[in-house]
Structure 1
Amino acid sequence: MSGICDGRVVVVTGAGRGLGRAHALAFAAEGARVVVNDLGVGLDGGPGPDSPAGQVAEEIRAAGGEAVAHGGDIATGRGAVSLIRAAVETYGRLDTLVSNAGFLRDRMLVNLGEGDWDAVIRVHLTGHFLPLKYAAAHWRAEAKAGRTPVARVVHTSSGAGLLGSVGQGNYSAAKAGIVGLTLVAAAELARYGVQVNALAPAARTRMTERTFAETMAAPATGFDAMAPENVSPLVVWLGSAESTGVTGRVFEAEGGRITVMEGWRPGPTNDIRARRTPAEAGETARKLLAAAEPPGAVYGA
């Protein structure tokens, strides 16, 4: 196999099913050697009957590619260290990290338990931070040794993290946190040859089948806009050397659509260089809001 990722070593978390599986297969099709990570849990984060990581790795090998499976919990330091070590010890290097693992425990805020909050934050946000931390440490060591990498990180956010989603306060907060983590990492790691971007995908997976219930069914003929494989080409490009100069960006991808998201930046402003009364502050705020772009609608509102 050869392609735009020929010779690169790519780690994909949550790669046993859905988007992660599609990403792993797409990277392999472009010549990458892939470490397929999946803990093999159920949609709610509970134990699953069988980890699918080995099945995806075998699928890649059967197609002529190179892949190994990793079943560690990447939301723990030990699991994240072993994930990075699996790439370096198996293939001698690490070029790209794609963090995709996650699950849902949806509740309205008044019914959202502390345990369900912690579990989703742990898997999504901590599960992005720890692999990033140890991959970055590896790349920093490489750069300091005079072997500056052409390294790439692709994080998985969500429209819920950009706009919010009713009944998904924990998930929305975690996915918004991933965007913040992406921006900081892009700024901090550039000196070591690392680019970091985030993707907010929309596709048919176990996690989204309820969210997109009305549009999830694959068409009998024609283009299947909700297929996970539609998202993977952008992920592969971002994870390749071809994406040089692209970092600190957030993209949306769905079907045949790719959008560069433009996040928080200063809008209408007013500075009187003096302290206002609460009434004056309110009057100013209303004038500024009248001149500002309206926010996007929260999903499910």
Structure 2
Amino acid sequence: MDFSRHPLCALGVASALGIVHGATGTAAAPARMMEADLLAALRRGGLLVRWRDAVAGGPLLTPSAAATLPDLLEDLARATERTLAAGERPLVLGGDHSIAAGTWRGVARWCRRQGTEAGLIWVDAHLDAHTPATTPSGNCHGMPLAALLGEGGGAWAGHAGAVLDPRRVCVVGAHSFEAAESALLARHGVRVFALEEVRRRGLAEVWAEALAIAGTPFGVSLDLDVLDSALAPAVSTPAGPGLAPAELVAVWRGLLRRPDLLGLEIVEYHPGRDRDGATLAAVEALLDAASRQVSE
């Protein structure tokens, strides 16, 4: 199946339910992206894209004050599953990174109905592989990758059991994490390309290996805190020196043109910290690059 022929459906997830302690401004991210007409970057690249329409419940998944994180994650899982079933690809715009436990659960459900599985490239300064038993903060946005691998996700994520094959999962750019997370991923055999390795080998070489690990079909989950905090500071959990936006732009060229890309998720944007607009501009540049033909 050539997914590059499928239009994109943008799913805004206006939530910070995964952050108990710390900045919660990520809930405002999808509305800011809509206001800035962020999707115009994709249209300029020739892609068909729309915001999720009112018939499907409105352009944003916005939890009520009484909502629980498991409810939101199940709503999102259903939305990504239905998006793929309708012949579109999900572009999930968050929101904190806990939402990944819903995004890729829905994608995995759809894939399994097709007799296949999805690989996943997790681009993040953190490993997001804590469980409720190991987390030092209690924040669920530090747990979604573990949950997708079947570890510690039952209570907070509303489900138990793995939805990803760890042999087809890798993390790119990690440089701020605890030993318990590293041990969990090592136990599952997940390949971690830490920032030090990226610096030594170059992002282009690492990205090529990440694509090979993820296989066909696959998705990408990007936490914006993987970007250098001096260049893109508007995230909920800044992690200091990281990837320059231009580095990621270079390897993302043509990403959304790939026939094997199921979906893309971008999370942890904090509009209240984006005083000069640099972080939103970085997101726009990434989407622009992803929409371009490789030969351009």
| Fold match (TM-score > 0.5) | no
TM-score by length of structure 1 reads: 0.38
Greater radius of gyration (CA):
1
Greater relative contact order: 1 or 2 (C-alpha under 8 angstroms, separation 6 or more)?
2
